[in-house]
Amino acid sequence: MTLAVTGGGTGGHIFPAIAVAEALRSARSDVEVIYIGGAAGREATIVPQHGLRFIGVPARKIRRTASPDTLITLVVLFRGYLQARSALRRLGASAVLGTGGYVAAAAVLAASRLNIPVVIHEQNAVAGRTNRWLARKAERVCITFAASAGEFPAGKVIETGLPIRQGLVSPLTRSAARAQLGIPEASFTVVVVGGSQGAAAINRVVWESLDSLNRDISIIHQTGDTEGGPGEHVRDAGVGSVYRSRPFLDTDDLAAAYRAADVAVCRCGASTLAEVAAAGLPSLLIPYPLAYADHQTANARAVAEAGGGVLIPQADLTSARLAEELHALKADQTRRQRMADATRAMARPDAAQAVAEVVLRCVREANGGRT
């Protein structure tokens, strides 16, 4: 049986699709999962690294306002639709899962045209435009936050949580994770994650705050593709601490970073928040203010109101504020534990399996109870 997943543009769409693909392959040994994404998108590099067959199609972001470029965009998207339809027909796909992003439209619309069952997964508390539009073509819509349920057709919605990659649930002990990353055992450790693309504003404030932080605070910093910050180095003072920065942490190192950390400083895309919840980390939540419909603030508010994190608008983020919040958390282990318990309660470690089961159930229903 062949199943297709599609979604792209950012890690927030790509990684949940990969997580469900992993769950589908684990659930059924006879399943082949293909990933349909943008030929020039980030997914074209990321997906093959996870052992999935990737089919690239033309894709282009649709601007919110009409421009002379709009006609070219529509032509590109139509070509993507034709290529996706050809691939789905040729491979005999039994179902398609779409996780959002403009590239998902090609495969989902093609599947609908071919009468192939469609499942949509919405990651955020505020539904994306593509998913809202495509939901009418779907048999089921899986959601992460209950707040987004009202944006989709009644009767289609299933709250599953957000799928995260299997490799991010580290089997390492905290001590082993720290040893892997070169973090001193006694150091209070902060992991800084600006999402799959980094976050220039967070990076700048972290770099400015380094001299203000206690010397026994270590930082593991995923910067994204950015320049201007300090390179990887070890601060040799007091009991010892480390600042390590990399553009991207691979799955093993990111899992180790979450396991080693006491606190996360992060953007508030749904995938990042799901990873932090799975790790049970208290967090300083800094939403990207220009996200569509301010959905990152809505995501962050859900975590903050549950007691799992402190919401800091980007406009209020300074090096002094960051140092103050980190020192306060470092000094209050009881508060950290309370926040960790709250964020861990939001985790859905079985989300990938839940979405995979929805996809397989849609296949069974389409085939009269057989898969």
Provide the CATH number for the domain around residue 190.
Answer: 3.40.50.2000
Q: How far apart are the first and last CA of the chain?
A: 8
Q: Which residues pair with 188 in a beta bridge?
A: 217
Residue 144 domain boundaries: 2-166+349-366
Residues 36 and 52 in one domain: yes
Residues 233 and 84 in one domain: no
For residue 229, the 8-state DSSP code is S
Residues 272 and 138 in one domain: no
Do the Cβ atoms of 119 and 355 come closer than 8 Å? yes
Strand 233-235 vs strand 241-246: parallel, antiparallel, or unpaired?
antiparallel
Residues 139 and 287 in one domain: no
Task: Please tell me the predicted confidence (pLDDT) of residue 226.
Answer: 62
Do the Cβ atoms of 58 and 64 come closer than 8 Å? no
For the chain, the domain total comes to 2
Strand 93-98 vs strand 118-122: parallel, antiparallel, or unpaired?
parallel
Residues 129 and 209 in one domain: no
Task: Please tell me the predicted confidence (pLDDT) of residue 371.
Answer: 66
When mean pLDDT is compared across 53-57, 104-108, 365-369, the lowest value belongs to 365-369
Residues 121 and 253 in one domain: no
Residues 266 and 205 in one domain: yes
State mean pLDDT over 95-107.
95
Let me know if residue 371 belongs to a domain.
no
Residues 227 and 291 in one domain: yes
In this model, does residue 238 exceed pLDDT 50?
no
Residues 136 and 256 in one domain: no
State mean pLDDT over 136-154.
95
Task: Please tell me the predicted confidence (pLDDT) of residue 298.
Answer: 95
- Name, in order, each residue with C-beta under 8 angstroms of 312's C-beta and a sequence gap of 6 or more: 284, 285, 286, 321, 325
In this model, does residue 236 exceed pLDDT 50?
no
